Amino acid sequence: MSDDAVSPEEVRHVADLARVDLDDDEVDRFTEQFADILEYFETLDEVPEVDRETDLTNVMRPDEERPSLESEAALGNAPETEDGYFKGPNVS
């Protein structure tokens, strides 16, 4: 693993963009993990190049309504809801 793959500053910046608070220990831990994850991508270099089977273009559907989800199903996975809304923490 190369040391300069990811810097702690980059981790802080990414966390900031994702609106995640990290303490110093976590920054260190994620710096290492980010570098590991990026290293896995190098494995992809070993995959032989293959051509796409067909050159798809213009895949479209007509402008026709399809049934939407029932509200219960739509909100079913949400940890918190209120009056049919997804509920989350304050964001700025």
Partner 1 sequence: MTAQTAQQGDLVTVIGLEVHVQLETDTKIFCGCSTEPSDEPNDNVCPVCLGLPGALPVLNEGAVEAAVKIGKAIDADIPEETRFHRKNYYYPDLPKNFQITQYDEPICQDGTLEIAVEGERRTVAIERAHLEEDPGSLQHVGGGGGIDSAEYTLVDYNRAGTPLMEIVTAPDFRSPSEVRAFLAELEEVLEYLGVFDAERDGSLRIDANLSIIPEAEIDGDDTDEIGMDALEAANRTEVKNISSHKGAEKALAYEETRQKNAIQRGRAVEQETRHWDESRGITVSMRSKEEEKDYRYFEEADLPPLRVSGWKDEIAIPELPAARRERFQAEYGLSEEAASKLTSTKQVADFYEDVAGEFDPDLAATWVADNLLGELNYRDIEITEIEGRLEEIKRLVELVADDEITAKNARETVLRSMLDDGRMPDEVVKEDGLGKTGEDEVEQAVVEAIDENPDAVGDYENGDDGAINFLVGQVMQKTGGSADPGDVNQLLRRELEG
Using CB under 8 A as the criterion, which residues of the chain lie in contact with partner 1 when the complex forms?
Answer: 13, 16-19, 56-69, 71, 74-75, 77, 82-92
Q: Which is nearer to partner 1, 3 or 58 (CB)?
A: 58
- Could you tell me the smallest distance in angstroms from the CB atom of residue 17 to partner 1? 6
Q: Which is nearer to partner 1, 3 or 55 (CB)?
A: 55
Q: Which is nearer to partner 1, 45 or 65 (CB)?
A: 65
CA distance 48 to 34: 25
DSSP 47: S
- Determine the 3-state secondary structure of 82 from DSSP: strand
CA distance 36 to 9: 17
- Could you tell me the smallest distance in angstroms from the CB atom of residue 34 to partner 1? 14
CA distance 14 to 27: 11
